[in-house]
Structure 1
Amino acid sequence: MTTIESGSGKRLTARGAKTRSKIVTEAADLMYVRGVAATTLDEVVAASGVSKSQLYHHFDGKDALVRAVIDLMGQRVIERERDALGTASTLADLRRWRDALVQNNALQDGAYGCALGSFASEVADHDAVARAALSQLFSEWQGLLMGVLRRLQEQGALAADASVDQLATGLMGALQGGYMLAQTARDVTPMATSIDMALAHIESLSAR
């Protein structure tokens, strides 16, 4: 019988892994829309179609499930950002990245914000393990932005003395702040404006 390693180190059969994956996927969908605190384990059980004993076989409690959800959401976000930023090397590429994020968030009128930012606001203060995982994910995301800015410098499109670290931090801050403003306003315009301001600053540092 084929077995695989679970995130907790347990050996799972293929069937067990499928059950665990279904639990995490359904929990992720619920927690993203409803929030972590508002999502109960009973709701996860009902949505995933498993028994409560099956859920507790895979997770010791809600904190463990939330950490698994963060891993899943983080994987989705980082894969999306790698696709968008991994080979980006021009300001036009960054604008296309901005357009894709804003347009995607507009589908729900900005209602749910950034998946990672939403989880960070709910769990960072009381779960050090989850906070560390989210911090690592944000660092990886910011690293992708730094990679684009470094390529701009290498091509002479960004001043050699510009700090790619600081610019990437500012761009990430504009993005996350924009997500929050859009979420509260139910309008992506503040998000678009925030990112545009950051990109305009980067463009102002173009090598002359």
Structure 2
Amino acid sequence: MTASTRTRPASERRLTAKGEATRARILDAASALVFAHGVTRTGVEDVQREAGVSASQLYHYFGDKQTLMRAVIAHQTAAILAVQQPELDALDTFEALGRWRDNLVTLQRSRHCAGGCPIGSIAAEIADDDPDARADLVDGFEQWEAPIRSGLATMRDRGLLRDGTDTDRLALALLAALQGGLVLTQTRRTTVPLETALDATIELIRSYATEPTPRPSC
């Protein structure tokens, strides 16, 4: 066996179907534990126990906890985007923004407002101490922001928003409002902060409309 083969992580090698299943089981277990307890309070032994694998299996697929947590970030980012489909890729009308907002609120109610944002909570713990993980988090938030940006730009191009509207800035504001709303919703155990933050930002977006738009009925 060559040195390059020995040092090459399992995640970069082609895995058997059984290997893929084992890796996925470890990643699912780690993601659930991190969402429930955070990065610091999730130990490698906890993941082993939850996934039903040995230490050698876990380290074979992920190498160390840092590598595992970076995989968790990618996994949680994909899960966030999947949950918000298809609305997230069609935020090109005010009605679509409203449906997306309602789905986000409903999701937090179904979780009893626990857990916050799956990647935002990770960022709060490790972004200052792990540059590689922070870069992954930046990429994760960019994947989330991109369809919002695209949808608002489409609204401007269709004439729903005034020419010259800075849709990039509005998209960032909407994602920031979502993140802040999730933190307060998690802390207060009520969706009111999330609803308020999203409604205020969508109202800001409405202020750039080319003509008055009907407000959703209560």
Q: TM class by shorter-chain length?
A: over 0.9
Residue number in structure 1 paired with 2:69: 66
Residues 177 and 201 in structure 2, CA contact (< 8 A), matched pair in contact too: yes
Residue number in structure 2 paired with 1:85: 88
What is the Cα deviation at residue 119 of structure 1? 1.1
Residue number in structure 1 paired with 2:38: 35
Residue number in structure 1 paired with 2:113: 110
Residue number in structure 1 paired with 2:216: none
Residue number in structure 2 paired with 1:48: 51
What is the Cα deviation at residue 11 of structure 1? 3.1
Instruction: Name the amino acid aligned to 2:165.
Output: A
1:207 matched to 2:200? The reply is no
**Runs of 4+ more than 6 Å apart:** none
Aligned-residue CA RMSD (Å): 1.6
Residue number in structure 1 paired with 2:134: 131
Q: Distance in 2 between matches of 1:66 and 1:156?
A: 43
1:196 maps to which of 159, 177, 199: 199
Q: Distance in 1 between matches of 2:141 and 2:36?
A: 21
Q: Distance in 1 between matches of 2:10 and 2:113?
A: 32
What is the Cα deviation at residue 87 of structure 1? 2.5
Instruction: Name the amino acid aligned to 1:143.
Output: A
The sequence identity of aligned pairs, in percent, is 37
What is the Cα deviation at residue 88 of structure 1? 3.0
Q: Deviations over 1:96-117 (max 9, x none)?
A: 0000001101122321111111
SS at match of 2:119: helix
1:17 maps to which of 13, 16, 20: 20
1:122 maps to which of 98, 122, 125: 125
When the two structures are superposed, what TM-score results if normalisation uses the length of structure 1?
0.93
Q: Distance in 1 between matches of 2:9 and 2:165?
A: 43
1:150 matched to 2:190? The reply is no
Q: Distance in 1 between matches of 2:25 and 2:72?
A: 11
Q: Distance in 2 between matches of 1:54 and 1:176?
A: 35
What is the Cα deviation at residue 82 of structure 1? 4.7
Give the number of aligned pairs.
Answer: 204
What is the Cα deviation at residue 6 of structure 1? 7.4
Distance change in 2, residues 1:85/1:12 (3 Å): same
SS at match of 2:104: helix
Residue number in structure 2 paired with 1:185: 188
Instruction: Name the amino acid aligned to 2:64.
Output: G
When the two structures are superposed, what TM-score results if normalisation uses the length of structure 2?
0.89
Unpaired segments ≥5 residues, structure 1: none
Between 82-91 and 20-29, the greater mean CA deviation after superposition: 82-91
Residues 180 and 194 in structure 2, CA contact (< 8 A), matched pair in contact too: yes
SS at match of 2:27: helix
What is the Cα deviation at residue 81 of structure 1? 3.7
